[in-house]
Structure 1
Amino acid sequence: MSWRMGDSIRRRSGRSAGSAPRGGTPRGAVARWLGAALLVALAAFGTGYAVAARVLFPPPPETDAGVAVPSLIGRSADEARRELRDRGLEVAEVIELPHPDRPAGVVIAQTPLAGQRLRPGGRVSLGVSSGPPRARVPDVRGLLAERAAALVVVAGFEVEQRWEESESPVGTVIGIEPAPGTEVIVPAPLTLLVSSGPPALPDDTLLPDLVPPDTLAPDTLPQAW
């Protein structure tokens, strides 16, 4: 049989480029098989790594995040102690502080502040009201009014002055209201009694040891020698 070289080339090239050789596996199937095998291998590796990590490097045991410090402001000191004890905390110290409005025995300050966290057994310091501030009236009698007023203002008093006649030097303190030594809640009013000097004599007042000259008898007048 006669044939030409061109015919043979055309017959061989007529097979589709995508067809697999006889008895072979398609390339797409091979790629899918390799991808699935890779995923399985990765999953197995991840699982094995997680198990090994859990066995060789176990996570630290869960610890308590701490105890939240409660708000104790406005409670009595005894209530604050019970609240802290119930939460596993302790009172570090109690400091008494004067307060113009809060009654004695009420918590007016705390540290740490409410909401902060402490380890169990942590300590909280309390500031407890000792009631309104009090002071004793100082004895400033005998001082000049200006100096006396400065001293009583520092002690927490609101000063008023009242002038009164006295044999004491003008401008000196001769009395105090309330009396010196009296304990009062401050701020409080305080009155200084200040000397205005001795009372003035009326113009027509005669001194007891003086007698008008025209009332003297002639024989009582001094005689010239």
Structure 2
Amino acid sequence: MKRLFKITLAILILVIAGSGIFAFYIIFFGGKDVAVPGLVGSPVVDAVSLTEKMGLLVRIDKVDSIQPAGEVVSQWPEPGSRVKKGKIVILKVSKGGDRQPLPDVRGMEYGQAVTRLQESGFDVGDVVRINSDSRPAGVIVAQSPASPVMVPPGRRIDLLVSLGPPRTGGKIVVPDVLERSEKIARQIIVQSGLKVGTVKYEYTYMTPAGMVMNMDP
């Protein structure tokens, strides 16, 4: 009886081991070649069903996208690739959710850009300041993500802000703040490494209240 039990156990172990070896061979070495189908744009349920019917394995990665939730937005390997059965196909699937257009704040003064982003439902992320020959101090040079793009509300938007042109010969280039509001003009001057001097207020019908009409130097 014990001998019969040992023989049965040995056969069972051999069957299990053989199945494992066979599965390993099929996944990594065996099986017929199949062409990977085009799955981009398909609902993930349909994509997985089709892929598994072809003898392929599936890995799903969820990503931010403007496409509807559950839609395949990219795949690997590429459609038409010849692979062995048991090969893993990676699907990038949209998380969906609310998306709204991100405003383009390049060229705006920093304060205006922050206000515009917050009014649009976004938060300000990292702010990096650099010298720029093309933008006066305090003006947005670039943003990340770049616009136009659809992103989730509440997303943190990183900003690159100009410090104005670099110093030349140990001197600082005075930024042009004419026709800017006093608040913005002060910000630009301070961000350029300068100090605001004497401020004179004059009555005029030609310009709005609070706008810079003259500067020296």
What TM-score, normalized by structure 1, do the two folds share?
A: 0.36
